Amino acid sequence: MIIQKSIFLLVGMLALGSCSSNDNDDNTNVGPTGPPVENETPNTSYQPAFSGQTRAGSIQTTTEIESKVITNGLSAPWGIAYLPDGRLLITEKGGNMKIVTQAGVVGNAITGVPAVNPAEQGGLLGICLDPAFETNRMIYWTFSEVVAGGNITAVAKGRLSDNYAAIENATVIYRSNTPHQSAKHYGSRILFDKTGNLLVSIGERSDIDARPLAQSVTSSLGKIVRITTNGQAASGNPSFTQSGALAELYSIGHRNPQGLAIHPTTGELWQGEHGPRGGDEINRITPGANYGWPTITYGIEYGGAKIGEGITQQTGMEQPVYYWDPVVSPSGMTFYAGNRVKEWQNNLFIGALSGMHIVRLAIKDNKVAGEERLLASEGQRFRDIIQGKDEALYAVTDQGRLYKIDKK
């Protein structure tokens, strides 16, 4: 096992109180904050819609935290799931699933996984376990697939064999209905909601001609969809009034959503997505809502031109809870629901790719009350982060590392 230790013995305080499943974290107490962690010049002169929407005050963890590299022997890991025995089930972008032990032993590639298209931003992507995994051994994952007309984001399921070596009866249960030649912006995270249905994030595929489809309710591009474990539209989905609206739609107007997480006390869905040059977002998802891309954004084109009309607000479109300019490139994310680090309770942790750190956001009244950057000295592109049942955080990086982050 390869071990690297980073001790965060930091000053400042963040104390979080408990709250019921029906409130909005009104009892959260955030201690002193310092200057924003971001001090680089923004790409635009756009102004936030409300105080704290960007560049929140800095906070620092006071608990002594240890991080260690369990292994650096993975190949572009993308998604993580925590198995009941404490091992980690990990997807690799190139198309493999592997199991890693707490001692850092990386298993052989699991057989039976359908082929993926690993070009550019595609590959084997998000993964989650069935809530009843210990009895049914079912897992679910997303991937990029080549079909007639181009590439799509697809969702598959299968049974993990008793010896953990194979996926049995792998089945594609859902495919985006809009193939496109682009190999960018697939999304794509997957998780279960509290009703036992699947939430899946799908990107708008990046190209100028595909962008407007994020606003079209007849396309699954640029959406969060909510489906059953058989891939059908889940009952209770919001209704979109426009003609031909897909029954599986849950929210619309997203760019490249690579983060999904359920708040541990409110049960609400939160989402993160990549902006263009500026305008990375964290959103609290309301079923049936429109999150604006590409009509409104806090970013600009990579070449510097404005996007569309160059506006950041429009009636009928939701504002992000938080945005970054310059970008940090938010990927996988999770809320901390443990007790080992009490000051982290209900905080949102996000893997930052171009930012090369783990973002910690303290949330109060559905707004960001403070921001911290963890593991910034590691020089890693953090692709996904989850909390294990042992209450430690586990994160993977594009460079092949798996980290464990826990109270010392």
Q: Are strands 97-100 and 330-335 parallel, antiparallel or unpaired?
A: unpaired
Task: Identify whether the C-beta of residue 111 lies closer than 8 Å to the C-beta of residue 167.
Answer: yes
**How far is residue 405's CA from residue 388's CA, in Å, rounded to a whole number?**
10
Q: Which residues contact 190 (CB under 8 A, 6 or more apart)?
A: 126, 127, 128, 140, 141, 142, 155, 198, 199, 200, 201, 260
Structure tokens at 216: 């079209």
Q: Give the torsion sign (CA, 281, 182, 353, 172).
A: positive
Which residues form the catalytic set?
185
**How far is residue 370's CA from residue 363's CA, in Å, rounded to a whole number?**
7
Q: Are strands 97-100 and 280-285 parallel, antiparallel or unpaired?
A: unpaired
Structure tokens at 263: 């708040």
DSSP assignment of 313-340 equals: --TTSPPPSEEESS---EEEEEE---SS
Amino acid of residue 332: G
Q: What angle do CA 93, 396, 186 make, to 5 degrees?
A: 40
Q: Residue 222, Cα to own-chain centre: how many angstroms? A: 14
